[in-house]
Structure 1
Amino acid sequence: MAEFLDLEAQDAVRMSWNVVPGTKQDSSHCGVVPIAAVYTPLKPFPSMPVLPYAALRCRNCRSVLNPFSVVDFVAKLWICPFCLQRNHFPTHYHSISDQNLPAELFPQYTTIEYESPSEKSTVPPVFFLVVDTCLIEEELGFLRSAVSQAVGLVPENSLVGLITFGTYVYVHELGFGQIPKVYVFRGSKEVTKDQVIEQMGFFAKRPKPASGVIAGVRDGLSQETIARFLLPASECEFAINSILEELQKDPWPVPPDQRATRCTGMALSVAAHLLGTCVPGSGARIIGFVGGPTTDGPGAIVSKNLSEPVRSHKDLDKDSAPYFHKAVKFYEGLAKQLVHQGHVLDIFACALDQVGVAEIKVAVERTGGLVVLSESFGHSVFKDSLKRVFQSGDYDLDLSSNGIFEVNCSKDIRVQGIIGPCASLEKKGPLCSETVVGQGSTSAWKMCGLDKATSLCLVFEIVKKEIPEAIGQSANNQFYFQFLTYYQHHSGQMRLRVTTLSRRWVAGPGSIQDLIAGFDQEAAAAVMARLVSFKMETEAEFDPIRWLDKSLIHLCTRFGDYQKDSPSSFSLSPRFSIFPQFMFHLRRSQFVQVFNNSPDETAYFRMILNRENVANSVVMIQPSLISYSFHSSPEPALLDVAAIAADRILLLDSYFTIVVFHGSTIAQWRKAGYHNQPEHVVFAQFLQAPQDDANAIIKERFPVPRLVICDQHGSQARFLLAKLNPSATYNSDVPAPEREILFTDDVSFEVFLDHLQRLAVQ
């Protein structure tokens, strides 16, 4: 796959098919794996130039000048590869010649960035903290110290605001330092933006402007009024720390047979209204810290009676979760409001019970927010992830804001939609397909929040009907794609990043070998995972296992080598050989098997999958396993129960969890304390090596994964065993007492492959 990794290193794009079927009929033969691109708009490129002038656009289709444009140096013209429009160069390009090219025409700069010096945001980044107080004393203590530390890490010029909530919503006025001053809203009743403006006295001193007001400084809201609630971090750190030190558990009594009254939806709604009034259109983030289920007001997920359980997957399937649809509708409205204002919602949910992430998912995903799920505010998953949001250095997230993503492509291609963290801008046009996948029926999307790892999955369809007679040298058999990302850099500057790709298309009977050569099985697996998750959420009666199996059989029948009805003759090209293995692990993954997870956990896993690049998505689908032994250096091991041995240490990376697993002999030696004895220094180094590798992974990943250190036959070993291929189970014919066996009725990969070959050759 080296050449696909090279393409990603140049343009941050991985495509499932790098040679594209040229006709509708050929693309339907490609099975269910769609023509899709996984694109990371802000991936850092050290060698990419940033040009200090505006981009030159085609006057017909608005695409940007790129290395695939045909240039006539004599007539000072360029021809757009997308619509073939002839465009004149403006006067400042007049010295252009084949020896004197501007950077955007260099063949190696297919990805380039423009920065217009005149456009800079005047509002610094805004962080609005929304803190849950319906917690036990110990959890509240953990949360207070984490938030206090975060406020210390926020860049000094950023504006910070604070809301605490429980039964009521408390908006803290930070700009009035003499005595603490708070505005209170009832948690059970929805309020409108106008009521918030009214109650907080925004236009008390001067008349409110005429209707249609967005607010903000432009609409006559004074800077002093905004500074009552949003202050630079350097000025309000003391005030916030004083509030946090005094912060008590929600004072309203909770009967023993009831849950606490918690109005999360209302608190997030007030925060959104407040930001929409003070700083519309700026890079602002609402960071919600939630410690339990919402039981009151809009967005409630369960009643206060403890006798009523929080909804499970079974309840959602049977449509017997009474609060679910109403809560989702509320958060869809909130998402729409935040997207309109250009603001982001981040959620840090830390509780043993569910808090309602499944309902909030729509608002977080459409605004491009971050999400972290953990069981306690004292857990390293929460504390270290929160630090990563604000820290600067090698591993910072490079949070950018206010992005608009647009796509342009050749006329025979349509865009079905995007699965990922964005919201449709409903820009309809000839590029939009009739079939909608994810956020579709548009060629432009809003990305309120994006960082250097945010990845979008674009799904395309081919609409060309006829097969050309012969593709001569003169015919152009290239498809072009252009991705434009207009965003606010964390320096405040507005930038435009342009990536232009060209992919060859093939058609007709002899094209199958070309298609095989261009198939990227890792990218295809990542696309299929997003697609199956999306279908499970949106299609009633959808059977994911059956759909994945049918897709795989179709693909193997089309691209495998075999004689009809002879399974032993079946073989796949190396380009396809790992794909069945990915599908086997995807069927068993947490994205498809929801039985053992709560709706919150499933929503969390899918939100992370939908924003990660191909390499990370593949680790979520098929975890990586590294084996450490005394006799050899660390080496990758098969994800199989056979990898377990008494004298080995295994390191499993399943993205959300990292497991260091000690074989039984190693565990006995460790418990005997051999690693502390000077003559066994080699053993001490051997124990330390997987820990160091695990820490290196943890350092650069967001959200920070959970680290599990366990021993063979220990209770925590389940984190590893659940991910392994069950090649030896309690009922298989493996009479080897020293081999580990799994107690499962799942089929092994070998059996899965046998069935696949039998069905593919029929």
Structure 2
Amino acid sequence: MADFGELEAQDGLRMPWNVIPGTKEEETNCVIPVSAIYTPLKLLRSHVSPLPYSPLRCRSCRSVLNPFSVVDFSACVWICPFCFNRNPFPLNYSSISENNLPPELFPHSTTVEYLCGSSSSSPSPPVFLFVLDTCLISEELDFLKSSLSQALGLLPDSSIIGLITFGSHVHVHELGFHHCSKSYVFKGHKELTKDQLLDHLNFFLKNPKPSSGVIAGARDGLSSEDIARFLLPASDCQFTLQSVLEELRTDPWPVEADERPSRCTGVALSVAAGLLRACFPGSGARIMAFVGGPSTEGAGAIVSRNLSEPIRSHKDIDKDFAPHYHKAIEFYEGLAKQLVHQGHVLDVFACAVDQVGIAELKVAVEGTGGFVVLAESFNHSVFRDSLKRVFQSGENNDLGLSSCGIFEVNCSKELKIQGVIGPCASLEKKGPLCSDTIVGQGGTSAWKMCGLDNSTSICLVFEVARKDKPDVALLSQGNQLYFQFLTYYQHSNGQTRLRVTTFSRRLVVGTGSIQELAAGFDQEAAAVVMARLVSFKMETQVEFDPVRWIDKSLISLCSRFGDYQKGSPASFTLSPQFSIFPQFMFNLRRSQFVQVFNNSPDETAYFRMILNRENVSNSVVMIQPSLISFSFHSEPEPIILDVSSIAADRILLLDSYFTVVIFHGMTIAQWRKAGYHNQPEHQAFAHLLQAPRDYANVIISERFPSPRLVICDQHGSQARFLLAKLNPSATCNTDAPIGGGGDIIFTDDASFEVFLDHLQRLVVQC
């Protein structure tokens, strides 16, 4: 799989099938669809500066000149590999020759960037509108204010800042009024139209309101003075904002003992969206919501104020016993459409022991490409470290925030696009490339990505359009399929850029195609595609059985690409290209993406949102965590994810992406409690204890959202974080003794060995 990692380092791209099946029937037999995990803004290994001119495009299909274009130097024309149209070079390319190629035609320039627009135009600063929940206990509100004050200190002085607080009412703070704290108050149970919002905020107190037309920004009737009352540069409002935060208190609305606080989250977000729509349409603006409990008031409420009504569970949603769920989903779908149209991003930082409504907010956060962070408290390191990383600057620490993205796809006519699973929204650009089958955001060849960063990844699903076998003569010439991904975006420095990735894959058909398909199979990318597909199907298909679907898919794939004698399970073998895939599927069946038991709807939505935006390497860790052993006998080394890996004299480090666990074996824990690591003669033991801490700190510092760190001992209560992820090869039902200070898992789940045995038996029967 190192070769596939090289492709990702070059173009930010991984595909399950790097050799494409030639017909629709053969693609169906391959089980996993032709697809790609693409990171549009990945920091590539061979970084080149953006080209300071506009791209040269095909007159017919609008694809961009690329290394796969055929160039006729004598006629000074280039042939598009997608539509085969001949395009003349403009005059500034008149000196082109085999020894004088433009950068976009270099063989290694499969990914290039262009600067769009005039370089003299002043870049627009980023806009941050903070929306704070005040229905918190005083300690939690103090933690939130402290973290927010630190984060504001990391912002550039040119950043535009606004503040909205909410509880039972919504308060829009006028930061441009420096004499004292001043805010406009809106009822939490009443929705406002855009015109009502502008009127109540006195936007047209000095200037007459336009009689017609859309009011959007200074150019359409709003004066810059009116906009600067609520949204102004950080350098101009830092003192006022800090004063407002210091004076901020918990919501004064009385709460009875048998009631929840009156919290109008939906209305507050609607007011924030309306304010940005009027003041900064089409700019790189983010609504950053900090929520500490469930919404109980107005639109978007997920539960009533009465504590006797429980917050919806998975079972309630499945059986339609959640009275507020569908109304809240409908409201946030409307909010998502509004934000996408405006080009704005919604980020949610949810810190509460109870649910806050992430399951309902998912459509708005994911549709705009926003962040989501879920923690137990505003004082938890998961929240504090994650918030700090959003605003950090520097080559190694920043997230590379970009905005106002538009993603387009072009491909050879032998393929059609079914859709995209990931943080984007359809632009409904119909065309011959669109498939009738829709997966995720489908029925289009262009998508809006309001917010994206260096790690934002999307999953594109294609289908082979050809039903009959291609012409043999064509295949004998080496039939190639071409793909081109175009990403327009506003860089964090304000520049508008276009990144173009063009690549080719070979099409195969016939009796010998199985070996060629197998040679190009990327089992890590395939596991990630399966995880995204099963998550999507669980959310959109009624009565969908995810475990059965995964099992059937795995059996079909193994029966096609496995080597076996019919009726003989012992003869079954898989080539190295497929050998780890059954293990990935075993862990996917047990993962938090499929097993919702013991997880709330908010937690499940959170896990799936992170999965749908991360690259292959990070997603694989979510599906199958990594386990590293630290001991006196060897250097730190990865070991199998099995309960047999537990030993009394060993420290284990489990990385499951959302949680990092440092697990001390029984003997190690006893020595630590005895304080041996504090004695000079036991420095080796002190170094052994520190090594996994250092390793965990590196993981935590590079990841967003920041994972939870759990330090536990064998047989301790928090050891469950490790045991839940291990293969239960030794359980309370097995007779095999566990030696060496090992452990057992109290579960009735089947082990991987049993799973593999059943898989072999079923495959050889096919």
TM-score range, shorter chain: over 0.9
Residue 104 of structure 2 is matched in structure 1 by 104
Residue type at the aligned position of 1:578: I
Structure 2 Cα separation of the partners of residues 476 and 228 of structure 1: 64
Residue 385 of structure 2 is matched in structure 1 by 384
Q: Give SS of 2:597's match.
A: coil
Structure 2 Cα separation of the partners of residues 568 and 88 of structure 1: 62
What is the correspondence of 1:278-297 to structure 2 with a 5 Å cutoff? 278-297=279-298
* Deviation of the 1:50 alpha carbon: 1.3
Contact 2:565 2:572 in 1 (8 A): yes
Residue type at the aligned position of 1:83: C
What is the correspondence of 1:110-509 to structure 2 with a 5 Å cutoff? 110-116=110-116, 118=118, 120=121, 122-393=123-394, 394-471=396-473, 475-509=477-511
What is the correspondence of 1:701-716 to structure 2 with a 5 Å cutoff? 701-716=703-718
Deviations 1:621-649 (A, max 9, x none): 00000001101000101000000000000
Q: Give SS of 1:51's match.
A: coil
Contact 1:455 1:612 in 2 (8 A): yes
Residue 748 of structure 1 is matched in structure 2 by 751
Residue type at the aligned position of 1:188: H
Contact 1:457 1:527 in 2 (8 A): yes
Residue type at the aligned position of 2:295: T
Contact 1:174 1:230 in 2 (8 A): yes
What is the correspondence of 1:547-696 to structure 2 with a 5 Å cutoff? 547-696=549-698
Structure 1 Cα separation of the partners of residues 645 and 211 of structure 2: 71
Structure 1 Cα separation of the partners of residues 357 and 626 of structure 2: 31
Q: Give SS of 1:185's match.
A: strand
Structure 2 Cα separation of the partners of residues 297 and 291 of structure 1: 17
Residue type at the aligned position of 1:369: G
Residue 532 of structure 2 is matched in structure 1 by 530
Q: Give SS of 1:497's match.
A: strand
Q: Could you tell me which runs of 5 or more consecutive residues in structure 2 were left unpaired when the two chains were aligned.
A: none
Q: Give SS of 2:64's match.
A: coil
* Deviation of the 1:23 alpha carbon: 1.0
Deviations 1:680-723 (A, max 9, x none): 11110110000000000000000000000000000000000000
Structure 1 Cα separation of the partners of residues 478 and 413 of structure 2: 13
Structure 1 Cα separation of the partners of residues 86 and 585 of structure 2: 47
Structure 2 Cα separation of the partners of residues 21 and 257 of structure 1: 62
Structure 2 Cα separation of the partners of residues 34 and 273 of structure 1: 41
Contact 1:123 1:279 in 2 (8 A): no
* Deviation of the 1:47 alpha carbon: 2.5
Structure 2 Cα separation of the partners of residues 704 and 7 of structure 1: 27
Contact 2:22 2:470 in 1 (8 A): no
Give the alignment's TM-score, normalised by structure 2: 0.98
Deviations 1:79-131 (A, max 9, x none): 00000010000111111000000000000010000013506564310000000
Deviations 1:363-415 (A, max 9, x none): 00000000000000000000010000001121110100000000000001000
Structure 1 Cα separation of the partners of residues 49 and 232 of structure 2: 36
What is the correspondence of 1:63-78 to structure 2 with a 5 Å cutoff? 63-78=63-78
Q: Give SS of 1:756's match.
A: helix
Structure 1 Cα separation of the partners of residues 18 and 737 of structure 2: 47
Residue 702 of structure 2 is matched in structure 1 by 700
Residue 44 of structure 1 is matched in structure 2 by 43
Residue type at the aligned position of 1:430: P
Residue type at the aligned position of 1:758: R
Contact 2:215 2:221 in 1 (8 A): no
Structure 1 Cα separation of the partners of residues 699 and 471 of structure 2: 53
Structure 2 Cα separation of the partners of residues 556 and 109 of structure 1: 37
* Deviation of the 1:255 alpha carbon: 0.2
Structure 2 Cα separation of the partners of residues 503 and 333 of structure 1: 40
Contact 1:187 1:263 in 2 (8 A): yes
Q: Give SS of 1:114's match.
A: strand
Give the alignment's TM-score, normalised by structure 1: 0.99
Contact 2:17 2:34 in 1 (8 A): yes
- 1:27 equivalent to 2:30? Answer no
Structure 1 Cα separation of the partners of residues 259 and 116 of structure 2: 57
Q: Give SS of 2:628's match.
A: strand
Structure 2 Cα separation of the partners of residues 576 and 474 of structure 1: 28
RMSD, matched Cα: 1.0
Contact 2:420 2:458 in 1 (8 A): yes
* Deviation of the 1:470 alpha carbon: 2.0
Which deviates further from its counterpart, 152-161 or 473-482? 473-482
Structure 2 Cα separation of the partners of residues 516 and 175 of structure 1: 63
Contact 1:485 1:497 in 2 (8 A): yes
Residue 79 of structure 1 is matched in structure 2 by 79
Structure 1 Cα separation of the partners of residues 560 and 211 of structure 2: 65
Contact 2:130 2:288 in 1 (8 A): yes
* Deviation of the 1:220 alpha carbon: 2.4
Structure 2 Cα separation of the partners of residues 231 and 673 of structure 1: 55
Q: Give SS of 1:50's match.
A: coil
Contact 2:738 2:744 in 1 (8 A): no
Deviations 1:533-569 (A, max 9, x none): 0000000000000000000000001110011111111
Aligned residues: 761
Q: Give SS of 1:567's match.
A: strand
Structure 2 Cα separation of the partners of residues 571 and 736 of structure 1: 29
Distance 1:623 1:121, change over 3 A: farther
Deviations 1:288-326 (A, max 9, x none): 000000000000000001011100001011111000000
Q: Give SS of 1:437's match.
A: coil
Contact 1:417 1:442 in 2 (8 A): yes
Q: Give SS of 1:430's match.
A: coil
* Deviation of the 1:234 alpha carbon: 1.3
Structure 2 Cα separation of the partners of residues 196 and 390 of structure 1: 30
Which deviates further from its counterpart, 602-611 or 151-160? 151-160
Residue 519 of structure 2 is matched in structure 1 by 517
Structure 1 Cα separation of the partners of residues 207 and 478 of structure 2: 64
Structure 2 Cα separation of the partners of residues 85 and 306 of structure 1: 67
Structure 2 Cα separation of the partners of residues 658 and 331 of structure 1: 33
Deviations 1:16-73 (A, max 9, x none): 1000001111111102x11110000000125334100000000100000000000001
Structure 1 Cα separation of the partners of residues 738 and 419 of structure 2: 52
* Deviation of the 1:358 alpha carbon: 0.3
Structure 1 Cα separation of the partners of residues 313 and 502 of structure 2: 45
Deviations 1:184-238 (A, max 9, x none): 0000011111110111111221222242314201112111111000111111111
* Deviation of the 1:471 alpha carbon: 4.2
* Deviation of the 1:733 alpha carbon: 1.9
Contact 1:388 1:395 in 2 (8 A): yes
Residue type at the aligned position of 2:408: E
Structure 2 Cα separation of the partners of residues 687 and 629 of structure 1: 9
Percent identity (aligned): 73
Deviations 1:559-585 (A, max 9, x none): 100111111110001000000000000
Structure 1 Cα separation of the partners of residues 664 and 738 of structure 2: 20
